[in-house]
Structure 1
Amino acid sequence: MTVRSREFNFGMPWESLYGYSQAVQAGDTLYISGQLSHDSAGDFIGTGDFELQMRTTLDNLDRVLEHFGAGRDQIVETTVLVKGLRDHFDTAARLHAAYCGEHRPTSTVMGVSDLALPDQLVEIGAVVRLDVAH
């Protein structure tokens, strides 16, 4: 049996620079790369403002889900990378819980010393099962 795959990109310069896709669907599983806080033109949003970065990052995650016709309740796993985790854990936890609502995916949150962009404080990746009813 051959599994079909398809990719999705925002058209950001770093996608070709780094050589990756924002998401790859393989069969009924969607793998979403770490999302970050940027607008549709690729401009970084929220320097020094963790909550704004987290909200914008989750909005970008929604944009990927929407492209594949998926919903938040089909997310089975999130990975949340946070620079300065001790300072930002409570905000990250509150916003992640609000984003997921009653749905409870598995999640790993990790403190990191640095992320790709100098002002970046958070990055969120996800695994989604498209065959889960929503």
Structure 2
Amino acid sequence: MTPARRTEIHHVPWEESYGYVQAVQHGDTIYLSGQVAHDGPQLVAPAPVDATGKVTDVTNTGAQLRQCYANAAQLLERFGASLDDVVDEVIYAVDVPAADAAAGPVRKEAYGRPDPQVASTMIGTPRLAFPELLVELKLTARL
């Protein structure tokens, strides 16, 4: 017998245009799509970009990462889970040094402890879904 599958979305336009859900629960595991810094359809702390769409300032990396964790926590709550149930995370960053500097304090705040008990990987990327994004957070949680 195959375990039941349940999904959740944020009700933002790019879910329909791209064609995906924000989270899928399969059995006791919850897989979150990459969470970005948005509140509804509005980006939170968007980075300034030049005429070609290239980021010109990475100062908002911490603020964006904080919103990514908030959005992830909101999704997990719908499954009766929390960030305490996260076992693995991947942080995609446009500027790895800026993300590395921000990640320590933001992660500790998000997980509520000085030593988050989460496997973590950071990957540098030249760009994310929207040019103004600096980070994206992908999580896996186990109930």
Please report the TM-score for the alignment, with normalisation by the length of structure 2: 0.85
Identical columns (%): 34
**Separation in 1 of the partners of 2:8 and 2:24?**
6
Task: State yes or no: 1:43 paired with 2:42.
Answer: yes
Residue identity in the other structure for 1:43: Q
Contact residue 22 and residue 33 of structure 2 kept, 8 A: yes
Task: State yes or no: 1:112 paired with 2:125.
Answer: yes
Residues 62-96 of structure 1: CA distance to partner in whole angstroms, max 9, x if unpaired?
A: 11111111021110101100111123311122211
**Separation in 1 of the partners of 2:116 and 2:46?**
30
**1:120 aligned counterpart, secondary structure:** coil
Please report the TM-score for the alignment, with normalisation by the length of structure 1: 0.90
Unaligned runs of 5+ in 2: 48-59
Q: Which position in structure 1 is the counterpart of 2:67?
A: 56
CA drift of 1:98 comes to 2.5
**Aligned counterparts, 1:58-73, within 5 A:** 58-73=69-84
Residue identity in the other structure for 1:37: A
Q: What do you get for the CA RMSD once the two structures are aligned? A: 1.2
Q: Which position in structure 1 is the counterpart of 2:102?
A: 91
How many residues are treated as equivalent by the alignment?
A: 129
Q: Which position in structure 2 is the counterpart of 1:123?
A: 136
Task: State yes or no: 1:8 paired with 2:8.
Answer: yes
Residue identity in the other structure for 1:98: E
Contact residue 35 and residue 68 of structure 2 kept, 8 A: yes
